[in-house]
A = this chain, B = another copy of it.
Amino acid sequence: MTEHRHPHEAGHEAGPCCGGDAVIERAERLCRERDLQFTRLRRDVLKAVAEAGRPLGAYDIAERLSEPGRRVAAVSVYRALDFLTEHDLVHRIASRNAFVPCAHSHGEGAGLVFMICRSCGGIDETTSPEIEDQLGRTLARAGFRPASRILEVEGECEACLQREGAA
């Protein structure tokens, strides 16, 4: 994970790297392949999350999508988010009740790790097969059959550490 350093930071508004378009294109492709409906609402919700540059709550999203003449209720957003999370287009951050776009198209069940920065509020994700291995062993030892998991770390991201160091 050397080059790919683009945390969903506050202020990092949708570059060409991870901005709306790339995610949307991936979503369109995926929905075509799996014969799913990529409706306007779902597209709009995904776009909002992708362009926000920071984790958004469902009600934030509803507000962003609402405009005079079109009111988007939170419940509709939740349904769209259910769809998007189910197909790994966005991730839910349990410790924040918030959603971020899925940065990479990682393989199925890759060991996802979310890093949540206390300073800038940004969230970045990475993967680690080694952690997944160890976790698998640990669970096997306990006789537990896993179906899904969340691993979220709170702390200080690289950018904020450097900023502090410089200050």
Contact = CB atoms under 8 A, between A and B. Distances in A.
A154 B147 contact: yes
Contacts of A130: 134, 137-138
A63 interface: no
A149 B147 contact: no
Contacts of A161: 143, 145
Given A94-B94, A94-B95, A138 B147 contact: no
Contact of A156 (B1, B134, B144): B144
Nearest to A124: B142
Given A95-B150, A144-B157, A148-B154, 5 more contacts: A124-B142, A126-B141, A130-B137, A143-B158, A145-B155
